[in-house]
Structure 1
Amino acid sequence: MIYFWWGFIKDMNLICGEEGESPNSILVLIFSVITCGIYYFYWMYKHSERIKNIASRYNVRIKQSSESILLWAIVGTIFAFGFGILLGQYFMITNFNKLTNAIKGE
């Protein structure tokens, strides 16, 4: 998991570098543990926002807003035994994959 998010953050910083830098995956994990998971929701929201902001530059249509991804993650985690955070991650990763495919020209 840490390796996946390390690669994800590395790629995101490469593609969305103008939007600011993301802390590495170890810091995200530490801050999330310290804040009982709240930092992870904040991190997920900020990165979904970065993806949405950069998508227009590459003519990529992103359906889910940052707010809807955050809402799925929080509500689904509370009421669906953690399934919501997986759904939020799925939307975020899928949107990022759309962006990288557009950059590669696929």
Structure 2
Amino acid sequence: MSTPILLADYAHARAGDKGNTLSIAVFPFDDDHYAWLCRELTTERVRAQFAHRNPSTIQRYEVPGLKALNFVLEDTLEGGVNRSAGLDRHGKSLSYLLLAIELPKP
């Protein structure tokens, strides 16, 4: 079994928000790693990484034309921009939390 790697070493991400919903798109640096990303970056792994935020649902969308995955996490932003007292009410930095997931090497 190989040593796990950080997703950040193989991909980058972009986060956005709408109300209390967080959306994070993940793009592999190398298009050849897209199949690996689809296989290894599951909603279960994302749920475990965001467990402390207690998302009610997580949807994963594959975007093969862009070689990307988009994760939509509901009820994750402490009520959203207008209600949260959190430092990052928009959730922009939460893409880094996703990129900290350890995965098997491609």
Answer 1 or 2: which has greater helix percent: 1
Answer 1 or 2: which has greater strand percent: 2
- The structure showing larger relative contact order (alpha-carbon pairs under 8 Å, at least 6 residues apart) is 2
